[in-house]
Amino acid sequence: ERSPGPSMWKPLRRPARQASMRRSQRSLLSRCTAVTASAMGIAAALAVIVTRGRPGLPDALAPCYVASSVSDGAAPMPPHCQRRRLLASSAGAVVAASGRPDDQAARAADESLERRFTEDQLEKLPTGSVNPWGPSDIFMPNWTEGYWHVRAVLTNYSVPLGLYYLSNGGRNQQAAEKAIAEQRKRVGTPEEYDLRFMRTQSGNVVEDRTFNTAQRINAYAGRKVIKFIEYVDVPGNTREDALKRGDGFDDPLLSVLITFKGRVQKVFVTGFSTETSKGADGADIWRSSQSTRTLLAAPGSNYNPFAVDEEVLTEMRQEPGGAVTGRVRLLGFLNPSDELYFSAGSKAVTIADYALTFTKIQEPASEAAARAKFQSTV
C-alpha cells in the first residue's frame, strides 16, 4: 500500500515497524541537537564533522550529519536519519511565520539583548517575518566596516533544560552524555578566520554573509570544503527588492545557498534586532540577535531535508583606545518535528558561548581581484 502523495514517497510501513523507526529517528535527532549549536553558527557546527580525526562529534552521530550536510564522500544516510520529512520542516516554517511583524517589534522592544547574553532560561524570539517598514538587514556601526581577523574561543557549553531534552526523554542518556562531553572538550580551543563587514550602496554597514559563512565553515573544517556559495531570493527579500531600495547588485541578502560535494545547505534569516549602549569605561557596544533556520539536503539521494533552528547573539565592543573585542552566544532550539518540542516550551535546549578578539587587516588580494572582476562585468 502506498501513500496518496507523489510517487517519490516511500511505501507505508506496518504500524509496529513504523513506530520503531520513529523512536529511533527521534533519538538520533535529539542527540544531534547537542552538537548543532556548539560551533560558530550552524554552518560551522556542521563543518566540524567533515574533517576526519578532528574533535567535536561523536562517532555514533557522524553518519547522520555526514550524509545530510557536508560530507566529502558519497556515504549513504543510515535508516534512522532518512525519515525526517520535509513536511515537518514546512510545518515549522508555518508555525514560525505566525508571528506578525508588529508582535515581533513589540517583543523586541521589551527584550534586552544584553540580558540574553547572561541568562540561561531563554525563550525563542518571534520569527518568520521581517518588518517591511523596518531595517532590511542587520545594520552595524561604522567602526565595524572593513576586514577583520578573528580569534574565537569556546568558553562554555551548557544544556539549560537538562539531558532529558537531548536524550529522547531520557531513553538515550548515555549517547546524550557522550555528545555533550565531546563538545565540552572543545572549551578553550581557538579557531581563527577572517570576517568582512561592508558598506552597501545605500550607505549601511552590514555583514558580508557569503564571505563570512565560507570563512567560518572552512576554518572549523580545517580545510576548504565549500564548492560554491551565493545569495538567494526569498519572499520579501530579493535582489529586485534590494535594487529598489538603493542597494547594489553585489550587496548582501538575508539568505544564502551553500554547495558542498554532493550536499547543499540553505540558511534563512527569519528575524533580527539590534541595540547599542555605552560601557562604564566609555566603550561603544553593539549587539544583535539573528534567528536562523537551516535546511540540510542531499540532492538526488531521495532523502528528505531536515531543519535546524537557532539564534545567534553577537556583541562587538570598541574600547576607547580602539581595540575591538566581542562575544557570541548560540542558542539551540527544538523545532515542531521534535518529540519534546511542546514540552520544551520554546526554550533553548543548548547554549554555546564564545569569546572573540578582532584585529583589523587589509583586504586580501584574492578578494580584491575577485571584486574587481565582478565589477567589470556589471
Report phi then psi at 181, rounded to 5.
-60, -40
Distance CA 279, CA 259 (A): 41
Predicted local confidence at residue 170, as pLDDT: 64
Q: DSSP per residue over 342-375, as a string?
A: HHHTTB-SEEEEEEEEEEEEPPPHHHHHHHHHHH
Q: Cβ(250)–Cβ(216) under 8 Å?
A: no
Q: Cβ(197)–Cβ(208) under 8 Å?
A: yes
Secondary structure of residue 153 in the 3-state scheme: strand
Neighbours of 249 (CB within 10 A): 12
Nearest to 326 by CA among 171, 217, 195: 195
Q: Would you tell me the crossing angle of helices 173-184 and 15-36 to the nearest 10 degrees?
A: 20
Report phi then psi at 235, rounded to 5.
-55, 130
Distance CA 293, CA 46 (A): 14
Q: What's the average pLDDT block by block, 10 residues per block, for the chain (378 residues)?
A: 39 45 44 36 37 31 29 35 33 33 46 88 78 83 96 94 77 80 89 96 95 94 93 92 92 94 91 92 94 87 82 95 94 86 90 96 75 58
Predicted local confidence at residue 103, as pLDDT: 46
Distance CA 55, CA 112 (A): 34
Nearest to 124 by CA among 96, 156, 159: 96
Q: In degrees, to the nearest 5, what angle opens at C-alpha 74 toward C-alphas 65 and 304?
A: 55
Predicted local confidence at residue 169, as pLDDT: 64
β-bridge partners, 146: 197
Predicted local confidence at residue 227, as pLDDT: 93
Neighbours of 361 (CB within 10 A): 14
